[in-house]
Amino acid sequence: MTIKKTIPKPINWQDFETLCKKLFGEVWNCSDMKKNGRSGQNQHGVDISGNPTGKVGYYGIQCKGKDDYTDSSLTTKEIDVEIEKAKLFQPTLELFAFATTANKDAAIEEYVRKKDIESRSHGGFKIVLYCWEDLADLIEESKQTHNWWIKEKRYKQYFSVQVSFENEKEEMTIYPRFNKKVVEYKKRKAHEIAYIDKFASLALFGQTNSAFLENISRFSQFSQKTRSLSCCKIPILIRNTGQEVIEDYKFAFWTEGQFFEISDGFNCLLEPSAHISRPLYVSENGDFSYQQKSGRPLTQDDERSFNVYITPKPECKEIVFSWKLFARDYSEEGVLKAKVEPNISTSKHTVWVGAEVEQRTETEYEEIYEKEEPRS
C-alpha cells in the first residue's frame, strides 16, 4: 500500500503524540484525551489516555514514533514489553492501542491480533495496532484533525532541537573502574602478639609493617598529579535541527541515579543529596551554575557541547539526565541515559588483631587512580 503523500508524517515524537491525542480524541469521541505524565516519568506503557463517550473504561495509546519513517518497524519484543507495562496502568484499561509512524507490516499485524485474542481470553484489555497508513486513513476521514494538521500546517516544525551524547544518541555506556578491597581481621596467638609488641618499633624501619608501607604508598600516590579512573566523562551535545534561530535559551538538567558526585572536571557540582531538587544550568561556553544563564543564539545546524564528569557508585546501573531547554517562543525537554558497567578488581588484605578484637571480614570499594601524563 502506498503512503498517502498528502498526509505528512510528524518530524519528531512530540508532534506525533500531539497528533495522536487530537486524532483519537475525534475518532473515539473523547473530549478528555490527555498525555500521561511528563517525560522521564513511569507511564506504564501509556502515552495518552481518555474515557470515550459512552464507555465505562479508559482507552490508552502507546505512541511509537520511529526515527526512520520509511524502514523502521515495531518489533515483537517492543510489543510484549509495552503490553506488560500497560497492565499496571490504573484504572485498568478497556482498550490498548499501538500508534506508530512505521509502515504496515503483515507479520507484526498478525502478532498483535494474536496478542489481542490472548489478552481478551484472559479478561484483559483489547489490543489494536495503527500503522502510519492506518493513521493517514483516519486523518483523511476525520475533518477536524485533517483541517488542523493539513490546512493549519500543524505538521510544520519550525523550532526543533536535538540533545544527545557525543555519539548523537540518547544512550551511552560508561565503564568506571573500582577496587573491591577485602580486609580480613584475624587473631594471633598470645606468643605471636608478644613477639610483635617486642619488635613494633623495628617494623617501621625494617619494612615489616604492611599497613605502614601502604600508607606511605598512598601518600606518594596523592602527592603526584593523578586522575580517577572511577570518574567518567559524559559529553553532551545540543544541536539546532529546526528552521528557526533559537534565541535567549537556557539549558538545564537534573540527574537520577546512585553516584558519589558530579563535577565539571575541577569542582564538585552536585552531591547525591541535591541531585533531584537542584537543576544545573549550562551557559554557551559550557560553564555551570545554579542560576539561569542565557546562551548566544543557536542558528540553524549550530551546536553547543559541554562535558559532565560523574563518579557513579559501584552498585549503580544507570544515570538518567532529564533536561529542558527554555527559549524565546520555544521550549523542549527530554531524557538521556548513561548505562553503567563497572570494571571491578579485587584486592585482599589481612590485619592481625589481638584476642580482645572480634575476628571479621570487611569489604569496601575504592576509586582507582593513575598518574596523569603531562599534556604536550
Q: Which residue blocks in 12-147 are alpha helix, DSSP H?
A: 13-27, 76-86, 106-121, 132-141, 143-146
> Worst-scoring range by mean pLDDT, 38-47, 168-177, 223-232, 320-329?
38-47
As given in the structure block, the three cell numbers for residue 220 are 606518594
Give the residue from 76, 55, 85, 92 showing the smallest Cα distance to 129.
Answer: 76
How many CB atoms within 10 Å of residue 219? 9
pTM of the model: 0.48
| More confident site: 152 or 105 | 105
C-beta separation of 145 from 26 below 8 A: yes
Which pLDDT band holds residue 50 (cuts at 50, 70, 90)? very high
Chain center to CA of 312 = 14
pLDDT at 97: 96
Evaluate if residue 241 carries a pLDDT over 90: no
> Worst-scoring range by mean pLDDT, 122-131, 165-174, 245-254, 256-265?
256-265
pLDDT at 190: 56
pLDDT at 327: 83
Q: If you average pLDDT over every residue of the chain, what do you get?
A: 79
| More confident site: 357 or 134 | 134
Give residues with Cβ within 8 angstroms of 14, minimum separation 6.
332
> Worst-scoring range by mean pLDDT, 12-26, 126-140, 180-194, 230-244?
180-194
> Each residue of 275-319: pLDDT tens digit?
444 566 666 555 666 555 666 788 888 888 888 888 899 999 998
pLDDT at 270: 57
The DSSP secondary-structure symbol of 170 reads: S
Rg of the chain on CA atoms, in Å: 29
Domains (range + CATH), the chain:
13-157 (3.40.1350.10), 160-189+225-376 (2.60.40.10)
| Residue 303 three-state SS | strand
